[in-house]
């Protein structure tokens, strides 16, 4: 199992950020690995509601079905997803700071075996890590500006790729850079 996590401050009300995260129809505006949305069923953010997302991973388009398993507006949203041979649990906790909020995100996942068992697995892990950062930079920009735009046009500042041998850790400069952009990323 792998995990990614980040904490960042967003200068927008917690309810607005929760509504943005909870609405799968808005996901393509900020999630960078999401190629397209499939079926969406139920009320956005409602426990038991579900959606299908098609993600670009290791040159493949993976269909993932997600179900909302925990939701309390505006503080908690958790979705669990499955794909052929893999799974994910995406948990977002939001601290309401009035006109701003702080979000704490944890993504636990296991990629399908055919991806993990190859050299692509290492490269994919690095890419997922970078895209996770970009995704939350996009969410922050979208929530703060109120402007919906494609993930390709709301981009994070350019970062150097993480070498394969250092895929599981960051040096102090990268941590400082993350904190300067309002968040910190942890991996294992």
What's the pLDDT score for residue 16?
A: 96
Rounded to whole angstroms, how far apart are CA atoms 35 and 124?
Answer: 16
Within 13 A of 164's CA, how many CA atoms are on the CB side?
A: 6
| Strand duo 76-83 + 86-96: pairing | antiparallel
Per-residue H/E/C for 70-98: EEECCCEEEEEEEECCEEEEEEEEEEECC
pTM, entire model: 0.73
Structure tokens at 168: 């599981």
| Beta sheet of 101-110, edge-to-edge order | 34-41, 50-57, 60-72, 76-83, 86-96, 101-110, 2-10, 183-187
pLDDT at 166: 26
- What value does the mean pLDDT take over residues 161-182? 31
Nearest to 65 by CA among 36, 34, 32, 87: 87
Measured CA to CA, the distance from residue 8 to residue 120 in angstroms comes to 30
Q: Which residue has the higher pLDDT, 68 or 167?
A: 68
User: Which DSSP state fits 28?
Assistant: G
Domain spans of the chain? 2-187
- For the cut 60, the answer to whether the pLDDT of residue 75 exceeds it is yes
* Beta-bridge partner residues of 107: 4, 90
Rounded Cα distance, 56 and 72, in Å: 30
> For residue 91, what are the CA distances in angstroms to 67, 84, 124, 172?
12, 21, 21, 26
Does the pLDDT value for residue 6 go beyond 70?
A: yes
Q: Looking at the domain 2-187, which fold is it?
A: Alpha-D-Glucose-1,6-Bisphosphate; Chain A, domain 4 (3.30.530)
What is the tens place of the pLDDT at every residue in 117-164?
443 444 455 777 888 899 999 999 999 997 644 443 333 333 233 222
């Amino acid at each position: 199992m792998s995990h990614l996590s980040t904490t960042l401050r967003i200068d927008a009300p917690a309810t607005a950020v929760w509504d943005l995260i909870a609405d799968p129809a808005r996901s393509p505006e900020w999630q960078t690995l999401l190629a397209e949305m499939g079926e969406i069923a139920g009320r956005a953010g409602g426990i038991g509601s579900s959606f299908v997302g098609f993600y670009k991973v290791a040159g493949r388009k993976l269909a993932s079905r997600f179900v909302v398993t925990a939701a309390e507006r505006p503080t908690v949203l958790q979705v669990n997803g499955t794909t052929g041979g893999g799974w994910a649990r995406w948990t977002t906790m939001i601290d309401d700071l009035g006109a701003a909020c702080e979000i704490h995100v944890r993504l636990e996942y296991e990629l399908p075996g055919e991806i993990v068992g190859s050299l692509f697995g290492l490269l994919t892990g690095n890419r997922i890590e970078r895209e996770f950062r970009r995704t939350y930079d996009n969410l922050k920009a979208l929530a703060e500006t109120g402007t919906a735009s494609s993930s390709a046009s709301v981009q994070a500042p350019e970062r150097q790729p993480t070498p394969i041998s250092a895929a599981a850790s960051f040096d102090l400069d990268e941590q400082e850079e993350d904190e300067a952009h309002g968040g910190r990323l942890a991996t294992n």
